[in-house]
Amino acid sequence: MEALNDMFANSRCSFVLFGLFVLFASAMTSLAHAKTQQHEFVIQATPVKRLCKTHKSITVNGQYPGPTLEVNNGDTMIVKVTNKARYNVTIHWHGIRQMRTGWADGPEFVTQCPIRPGGSYTYRFTIQGQEGTLWWHAHSSWLRATVYGALIIRPKEGDSYPFTKPKRETPILLGEWWDANPIDVVREATRTGGAPNVSDAYTINGQPGDLYNCSNQDTYIVPIDSGETNLLRVINAALNQPLFFTVANHKLTVVGADASYTKPFTTSVLMLGPGQTTDVLINGDQPPARYYLAALAYASAPNAPFDNTTTTAILEYKSAPCAAKNCSASKPVMPPLPAFNDTATVTAFSKSFRSPRKVEVPTQIDENLFFTIGLGLNKCPKNFGSSRCQGPNGTRFTASMNNESFVLPSNISILQAYQQGIPGVFTSDFPANPPLKFDYTGNVSRSLWQPVPGTKGYKLKFGSRVQVVLQDTSIFTPENHPIHLHGYDFYIIAEGFGNFNPNTDTAKFNLVDPPLRNTVAVPVNGWAVIRFVADNPGAWLLHCHLDVHINWGLAMVFLVDNGVGELQSIESPPTDLPLC
């Protein structure tokens, strides 16, 4: 019997050792597959001709849009950015979690001082647990009008998509083009206090398409063949405009958004706020021909001007009758387009998103925050002439969260000041609730139209469970606001219209399979509720991704404390971090 017990003890020990060996081997295999990718970005002025006119546009490596970066989950990125342009610049890796590497996040004066003309900075970060489509863009003034590109994260080597592998993949970058220098456009608006000029065209992969002057010979072609399933990685890189996207005669099956997989659902129209990405499968199940892909504005703010044009690309079947010859004679099929103010379609689309399975949503909440978001109007300062107060009724446009209009520092970044304990750069008293409760989506008292300027953050303990109610307001005008949180993904657990009511609207919370996103389109005249765990120390910007609104102050910063030990603390700043 004793011998038998010894045998069992030995076999148990061998089993444990074997299990440890298997775990160690799989960890080593995973590490072996992870790669370090090195890239060089040169920011420079490049002649770009669109709409019959050539502009000296700011580009990366002379490309517009910039280079597509393709990585695997687990890879480390090292990107050296050299600034040969005449403007300050930073690069933001939109949606990358940046675990403990906030120095690589990119927003100007939040996590770094800008890269000055002639300077350089190397961004270093690791992709951790993310798969799908993200993108990168300048986070300095309006440079992202032309400085942007796709960032595609494939599964780790040996892993696969949770859907049938597509025959081919095509990034679809939706952009906005000004027949002018975008920096001049925003500077003029800043000078006058009015709204900036709207864009002159939208683009797909940098090309306006057939419906604009001097554009049809360069219209982007998306190839497909009968029986193929292709993956379109759709990115809204526009500065100021949420966009509808549709393809003539083809259904789109949504399988991912913001580098998180979704429970698949089928739709004929997407709506993406600036900053959002959506992965869709498209089947080559129509008669071989040419079909337009089209994008146009979703303009939710009543009476606000917008670019009411339509950009197109062409889905071309390789076996289409004209494919071997000149196709220009055969006009592609045009899809039916939604009305610019079709909020019902937007609502049905956004409510279709679910995580593929049950997820761990924070249920016990440590920080219950309520942020109003919206525009405002500042009275004309006494020392300003009328030419500098061209907003409505002689005012200057502004924007705010909880009546605080965010002002960027100018001599050091918030993250440096936070990490090094430098006083006088920011305060950490951003209000957890609006200073005054009011009918947020009704008639708002004019006394609330002028917010308080300041550089305020809200402190979060490491590991705290956070809920934020984002409430649109009708100050000046209600609008669909794409709100982006740096350094985090969050669960969107509910959205609705009118004023959020904590007594009744909690019944709408989805705590089972809500979608995981990094940018939420807060409904016009409505609200959205997000939750996340503050497990990434640093200074993280929460802002509207309509660039005109961040210029006006629609932003705040979460200041997340270090946790315990090195693995819960932000890394030391890199030696080449730009100086202000």
Angle at 453 between CA 466 and CA 181, to 5 degrees: 100
Distance in angstroms (rounded) separating the CA atoms of residues 47 and 67: 17
CA distance 143 to 186: 10
* CATH architecture, domain 367-568: Sandwich (2.60)
Q: Counting Cβ atoms within 10 Å, is residue 319 exposed (0-12), middle (13-18) or buried (19+)?
A: middle
pLDDT value, residue 30 = 47
Amino acid at 510: N
CB distance 536 to 99 below 8 Å: yes
- Predicted local distance difference test score (pLDDT) of residue 330: 79
Hey, which residues does 400 pair with through a beta bridge? 374
Output the CA–CA distances (angstroms, integers) from residue 49 to 67, 198, 213, 230, in the order listed: 18, 19, 12, 30
Instruction: Please identify which residue in the block is written with the tokens 């456009």.
Output: 185
Give the Cα-Cα-Cα angle 240, 246, 248 (nearest 5 degrees).
150
pLDDT along the chain (580 residues), means of 10: 47 42 44 85 98 98 98 98 98 98 98 98 98 98 98 96 96 98 97 97 98 96 97 98 98 98 98 98 97 98 96 94 62 97 98 98 98 96 96 96 97 97 97 95 88 98 98 96 98 98 97 98 98 98 97 98 97 96
Q: Of 352, 339, 336, 351, whose CA–CA distance to 266 is shortest?
A: 352
Q: How far is CA 379 from the centre of its chain?
A: 32
Tokens of residue 218, six digits: 């360069």
The CA-based angle 261-543-380, given to 5 degrees, is 155
Helices (H) and strands (E) in the chain, counts: 5, 32
Is-same-fold flag (33-159; 367-568)?
yes
- Contact between residue 73 and residue 154 where contact means Cβ atoms under 8 Å apart: yes
The rounded distance, in Å, linking the Cα atoms of 365 and 346 is 29
**Kind and range of the H or E run holding 126:** strand 120-126
Residue type, 527: W
Residue with tokens 């002025």: 45
Q: Which uninterrupted H or E stretch holds 148?
A: strand 148-154
Do the Cβ atoms of 478 and 440 come closer than 8 Å?
no
pLDDT of res. 319: 87
- The span from the CA of 92 to the CA of 98, in Å, is 11
Cβ-based neighbours of 31, under 8 Å, separated by 6 or more: none
H or E element at residue 260: strand 260-267
pLDDT, residue 21, reads: 45
Q: Which residue type, as a one-letter code, is found at position 260?
A: S
Contact 476, 449 (CB under 8 A): yes
Please confirm whether the linkage preceding 523 is cis (ω < 30° from 0): no
**What is the residue extent of each domain of the chain?**
33-159, 163-354, 367-568
Q: Tens digit of pLDDT for each residue in 442-482?
A: 988 887 899 999 999 999 999 999 999 999 999 999 999 99
Helical H segments across 406-540, by residue range = 414-420
For residues 193 and 390, is the Cβ–Cβ distance under 8 A? yes
Q: How far is residue 563's CA from residue 420's CA, in Å, rounded to a whole number?
A: 16
pLDDT given at position 32: 53
Alpha carbon 540 to chain centroid, angstroms:
14
- Dump pLDDT digits (tens) for 234-280: 999 999 999 999 999 999 999 999 999 999 999 999 999 999 999 99
pTM, to two decimals: 0.94
> Cα–Cα distance between 497 and 523 in angstroms, integer?
7
Question: Tell me, what's the pLDDT at 25?
Answer: 44
- Neighbour count for residue 146 (Cβ, 10 Å): 27
Look-up of token digits 């409760």: 437
Angstrom distance (rounded) from CA 195 to CA 548? 8
Classify domain 163-354 at the CATH topology level: Immunoglobulin-like (2.60.40)
Residue type, 423: P
Q: Class assignment of domain 33-159?
A: mainly beta
36-50 and 53-60 beta bridge pairing? antiparallel
Structure tokens at 14: 């061998």
